Amino acid sequence: MDPTMDARLARLEKRVRYLTIALASSVALLLWLGSVEWTPQVSDVLRARALILTDSIGRERVVIGAPVPEPRGARIASSTGMIIRDTGGVERFGLGLFPNGMMAMGFDAPEIPGTRGNRERINIVAGPNGLANIRFLNRQSAVAGYLALSDDDNLYLQMNAVSPRGAVWRQIGAVNDTIVVR
């Protein structure tokens, strides 16, 4: 036999062995890939400092954060909590845990053209000292009243008003009532 023919045959046999090994490896890889579940992996935990949900046109509607991302000065202090905004981007609900331990929740009226002041109408607070209150503000941003747990651990309803005689507040409690005119 021709020596060049022997060399060519040896090279051809070597290539067939490599191709056989490559084919067997490919088949094994395909079989393994077929046995792997192709469903997307879902994590039980999502970690983030803030989550901002937007509506269909990209307006921020719900903001959750630790701390809540807010412009400087928008809150009495940085808080961990949530804000819900209306379609105009104006806050209508806020919930926050403050560094001093106070937990507060505020419900705001819609923005009314030509009016100024605090739009918050109801504020619910569990204070850092263990006391609690629900505060009601009128449309002039004045405190119209409280439902409050006071220092004596009794619940009081306090109503505030302005009369022709002056500022009046009345506090009604289970133990005593108070009326003050200034």
State the pLDDT at residue 72: 57
Please indicate, yes or no, if residue 161 is contained in any of the structural domains.
Answer: yes
Determine the Cα–Cα distance for residues 156 and 175; give it in Å rounded to an integer.
9
Q: Which of 14-18, 61-65, 116-120 bottoms out in mean pLDDT, i.e. has the lowest?
A: 116-120
Cis peptide before 69 (omega within 30 of 0): no
Helix (H) or strand (E) holding 27: helix 3-35
Residues 94 and 177 in one domain: yes
- φ, ψ of residue 136 to 5 degrees: the values are -115, 125
Say whether pLDDT at 47 is over 90: no
Question: Which helix (H) or strand (E) segment is 137 a member of?
Answer: strand 132-137
In the structure, what pLDDT confidence band is assigned to residue 38 with cuts at 50, 70 and 90?
A: low
As a whole number of Å, the CA-based R_g of the chain is 35
Q: Is the pLDDT of residue 107 over 60?
A: yes
Q: Could you report the per-residue pLDDT of 143-169, keeping only the tens digit for each? A: 999 999 988 889 999 999 988 888 888
Are residues 21 and 64 located together in one domain of the fold? no
Say if 46 falls within a structural domain: no
Same structural domain, 12 and 95:
no
Are residues 78 and 19 part of one domain?
A: no
Range of the domain at 4: 1-30
Both 166 and 92 in one domain: the answer is yes
Same domain, 20 and 84: no
CATH number at residue 130: 3.90.930.1
With a CB cutoff of 8 Å and minimum separation 6, the contacts of 57 are none
Looking at the structure of the chain, the number of domains it has is: 2
* Residue 100 forms part of a structural domain: yes
**122-147 pLDDT tens trace:** 999 999 999 999 999 998 888 999 99
pLDDT-based confidence at residue 100 (cuts at 50, 70, 90): very high
Residues 144, 86 within the same domain: yes
Would you say 104 and 98 are in contact if contact means Cβ atoms under 8 Å apart? yes
Q: How far is CA 71 from CA 67, 77, 105, in A?
A: 12, 11, 18
Residue 50 lies in a domain: no
Q: What is the C-alpha separation between 85 and 39, in angstroms, rounded?
A: 36
Q: Are residues 16 and 70 in the same domain?
A: no
Which secondary-structure segment (H or E) carries 92? strand 91-97
Residue 40 maps to a domain? no
Please check the confidence at residue 11 and state whether its pLDDT lies above 80: yes
Question: Domain check: are 10 and 96 in the same one?
Answer: no
On whether both 80 and 146 belong to a single domain, the answer is yes
113 and 164: one domain? yes
Q: Tell whether the torsion through CA atoms of 119, 125, 129 and 131 is positive or negative.
A: positive
Mean pLDDT computed over 2-15: 83
Question: Does some domain include residue 38?
Answer: no
- 59-98 per-position pLDDT tens digit: 999 999 998 887 655 667 788 999 999 998 888 999 999 9
Query: Is 95 found in the same domain as 19?
Result: no
Helices and strands, counts by H and E, the chain: 1, 11
Structural domain contains residue 167: yes
Asked whether residue 140 is domain-assigned, the answer is yes
- Looking at residue 19, what is its pLDDT? 87
Asked which of 99-108, 155-164, 172-181 is least confident by mean pLDDT, the reply is 172-181
